[in-house]
Amino acid sequence: MLTKRIMTAAGYHAFRRALALFCLGLLSAACGSEAARAEPAETDSWNLVFHDLPAALLSVTGKSASDVWAVGAVLDDEALVLHRDGQSWTRVRVHAKGDLWWTQVFDDGTLFIAGDRGTIVRGDGESFSTLATPDPRATLYGIWGTDPESLWAVGTDGTNGVVWRSNGEGGFDAADVDPALLEQTTLFKVWGRSADDVWMVGDQGRILHFDGQSVSASSSRTHVPLTTVHGTDTALYAVGGLGGSVILGLEQGQWLDLTPPGAPAVTGVFARGDEAYVVGVFGEALERTGTGPFRRVETGLDLARDYHSVWIDEEGGVWAVGGHVNDAPLVQGLLSYAGPHPPPNRTPTL
């Protein structure tokens, strides 16, 4: 069992460093016994689109394969934000001075990005504005909503977890959450199936659920930090690492352990249709189809750096981003793609 601790931004970097070191030992042991590894899955060829960017990339999402956004750490006094228009990658200036940890884009093109210093940025692809938030000390690791006027943001204020909601006036306020649920913890991500079915995950295996009326705790049966939550109408996953990889699935109201033997420590998950991808340290990826087991993907890439986020586009293309994300400085950004339309291996102009 992990000892209880406060996961500040610096603590998060330390957590990722420990996670990577743990996984290195895990993978070494697993390689010595093929039976201990998850059975490899067949997949489209993986393509390392670019790597060794000056800043790490922490989140990837999009409207389509020709409209992709990736956000990350600070580069030249401003967070790195990249956009792909189908032909090339371009750096977009959003004027955020801290690291940006997560992003969501809606069908109408409205984009939200959350990160350090209580920052939440809203944009339409061309113009961007920083929204009013309750606490500039907070680090926001996750943001999600059902539409551009109804969003949640989660993270930490350096001592306790924070949960914010959009207030209908162009900004965010602290949500009505029992302080005991947020005491001495950090929330890393938020995602929901609907406005009255919202899930948040964080340190010490913490899972919170909003049912449309109130936020309550859900038993994860683990003390491993849970870093990302995502799902579909029929599936829901929460994943994490440190002290052991964990992939949880919600089935019949209970969180079940779906972690395959020998799985690496993982940090990102995304599901679309009947398919789910999980990514983690050293460029490792796992795939699940339907109700089958998660299986390790043979990407063909030999990466020394870690994935932090994964996204599946509407054509089934898988996009994964990361870099040196174990501890500061957050550098050596990378982006990989697997799918029917591999983009050119071309480093964006920064």
pTM summary value: 0.89
pLDDT at 38 (0 to 100): 41
pLDDT for 45: 86
Contacts of 154 (CB under 8 A, 6+ apart): 140, 141, 142, 143, 161, 162, 163, 164, 187, 188, 189, 190, 200, 202
Strands 120-123 and 111-115: antiparallel
Q: What is the mean pLDDT of the chain?
A: 89
Q: pLDDT tens across 299-343, in order?
A: 999 999 999 999 999 999 999 999 999 788 999 999 999 999 888
Q: What is the mean pLDDT of each run of 10 residues along the chain (350 residues)?
A: 38 49 41 39 77 97 96 97 93 97 97 98 96 97 97 97 96 98 97 98 97 97 94 97 85 94 93 97 95 95 96 97 92 96 89
